[in-house]
């Protein structure tokens, strides 16, 4: 008789993954504790985890002392079972990161992109080469790579052709996934970098499973991940969350997206620099050659109570505060995380300046409960997020996720 593919089987499958996910974020747990957490009977736990034990995904890691009675056997994840690769594809760099099963970084490589080598073929070649190099020095052999997640600075669409608009590159309808699959056999998931980072923030950014979270990726642009009830908000065509291009001042600065007064034009690095120029065109803070230099100079000056820097930050915080208040009013989140190279540097100053602004612009009730903080994940948060795209599938048993069958990449301003 042919095997029955039915819903009671799906129930078992689903319960197996529920156990895995519970253990992942709460290990170590005994069978009894797992039973309590999942509301499944101990008998079922024993039954279902044999799969994971047999495959070596989880381990029995010793017993715990008891005062009378058989000691509990603690179950933990086998962090050596497999690895996740996270790739942060930025406009100026590619960062490769290899993580163990518990998302501890094992190996890291940074590659810089120059203006000359940003054709799709070049980038694909660099990704493949970087991936190979990453594995060469790593403790994990390639067959242990569960999957590769790639975070890109744009919108990844489910189906075909997309118009592209990137500051530096000029890609059009490029299916990164197809090209990469020719060279790499491991499963690949491509998604927006900010969305990926949001996953990392939810799972590894502090209190785990913070299910109403908004992560802001502040840099040249303003990327955003909005997580509601534990799910990244994608909308109909996976382009939801473009907070950077929401209008804050309808009569304000014009934006590269065609709109006016987008939050990006005030809070993105070029916007902040423009604010500085308006306040004092002669400011020595402007001497730096790159955005990074100038922002760093502002941060240093602010540390030393420089008046100009203070005003710049105050004015920027005003826009950021109003923008965050909009998010609070719309999403009523638990937590808002500031991240990205700019967010990491200026975040501490913003945290001081924001409270009165939130109080002014946000409604009292949701405003009072929202907690704003700076990311604790550091510079590899996007790579970790990209790897988390794979982890997500790994913990849900959804290798058939639509993102796997997609891979057409579009870069729009962010």
Of 360, 376, 398, 402, the one binding a second copy (CB under 8 A) is 360
Q: Does 171 bind a second copy (CB under 8 A)?
A: no
CB-nearer residue toward a second copy: 119 or 254: 254
Q: In what order do the strands lie in the sheet containing 105-112?
A: 105-112, 93-100, 83-89, 145-152, 188-192
Q: Does 257 bind a second copy (CB under 8 A)?
A: yes
* Count of positions on this chain that bind DNA (CB under 7 A): 34
Strand 58-63 relative to strand 73-77: parallel, antiparallel, unpaired? antiparallel
Omega of the bond leading into 210 within 30 degrees of 0 (cis): no
Residues 53-82 that bind DNA (CB under 7 A): 63, 65-73
Instruction: In whole angstroms, give the CA distance from residue 218 to residue 244.
Output: 9
Q: Is 27 exposed, middle or buried (0-12, 13-18, 19+ CB in 10 A)?
A: middle
Residues 260-279 that bind a second copy (CB under 8 A): 260-261
C-alpha of 201 from chain center: 6
Residue 32 interacting entry, from a second copy, DNA, none, C-beta within 5 to 8 Å by type = DNA
Instruction: In whole angstroms, give the CA distance from residue 55 to residue 53.
Output: 5
What DSSP string describes 96-124?
A: EEEEETT--EEEEEEEEPPGGG-SHHHHH
CB-nearer residue toward DNA: 30 or 316: 30
Of 43, 139, 363, 368, the one binding DNA (CB under 7 A) is 43
- 228, 224, 218, 225: which is closest to 267 by C-alpha? 218
Q: Does 1 bind DNA (CB under 7 A)?
A: yes
Instruction: Name the DSSP letter for residue 254.
Output: B
Piece of 269-277, 283-291, 318-326, 401-409 that binds a second copy (CB under 8 A) = 318-326
Of 3, 69, 281, 364, the one binding a second copy (CB under 8 A) is 364
Piece of 32-40, 107-115, 133-141, 228-236 that binds DNA (CB under 7 A) = 32-40
Q: Does 314 bind a second copy (CB under 8 A)?
A: no
Residues that bind DNA (CB under 7 A): 1-9, 11-12, 15, 30-32, 39-44, 46-48, 63, 65-73
């Amino acid at each position: 008789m042919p095997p029955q593919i039915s819903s009671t089987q799906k129930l078992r499958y689903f319960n197996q993954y529920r156990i895995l996910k519970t253990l992942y974020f709460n290990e170590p747990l005994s069978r009894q504790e797992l039973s309590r957490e999942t509301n499944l009977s101990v008998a079922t736990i024993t039954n279902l985890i044999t799969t994971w034990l047999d495959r070596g995904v989880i381990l029995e890691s010793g017993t715990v002392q008891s005062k009378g009675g058989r000691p509990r056997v603690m179950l933990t994840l086998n962090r050596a079972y497999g690895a996740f690769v996270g790739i942060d594809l930025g406009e100026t760099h590619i960062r490769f990161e290899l993580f163990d099963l518990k998302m501890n970084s094992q190996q890291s490589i940074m590659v810089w992109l120059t203006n000359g080598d940003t054709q799709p073929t070049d980038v694909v070649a660099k990704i493949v080469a970087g991936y190979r190099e990453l594995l060469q020095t790593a403790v994990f052999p390639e067959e242990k790579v569960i999957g590769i997640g790639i975070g890109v600075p744009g919108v990844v669409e489910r189906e075909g052709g997309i118009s592209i608009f990137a500051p530096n590159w000029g890609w059009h309808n490029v299916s990164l996934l197809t090209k990469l699959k020719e060279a790499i056999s491991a499963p690949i998931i491509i998604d927006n970098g900010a969305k990926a980072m949001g996953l990392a923030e939810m799972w590894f950014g502090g209190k785990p499973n913070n299910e109403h979270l908004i992560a802001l990726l502040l840099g040249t642009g303003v990327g955003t991940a909005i997580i509601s009830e534990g799910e990244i908000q994608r909308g109909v065509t996976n382009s939801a969350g473009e907070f950077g291009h929401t209008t804050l001042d309808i009569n304000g600065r014009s934006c590269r997206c065609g709109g006016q007064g987008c939050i990006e034009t005030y809070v993105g690095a070029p916007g902040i620099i423009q604010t500085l120029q308006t306040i004092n065109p002669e400011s020595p803070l402007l001497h730096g050659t790159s955005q990074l230099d100038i922002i760093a100079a502002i941060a240093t000056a602010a540390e030393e109570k420089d008046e100009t820097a203070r005003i710049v930050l105050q004015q920027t915080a005003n826009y950021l505060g109003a923008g965050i208040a909009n998010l609070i009013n719309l999403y009523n989140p638990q937590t808002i995380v500031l991240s990205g190279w700019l967010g990491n540097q200026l975040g501490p100053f913003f945290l001081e300046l924001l409270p009165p602004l939130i109080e002014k612009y946000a409604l009292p009730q949701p405003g009072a409960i929202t907690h704003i903080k700076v990311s604790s994940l550091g510079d590899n948060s996007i790579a970790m997020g990209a790897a988390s795209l794979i982890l997500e599938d790994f913990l849900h048993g959804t290798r058939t996720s639509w993102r796997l069958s997609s891979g057409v990449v579009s870069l729009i301003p962010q």
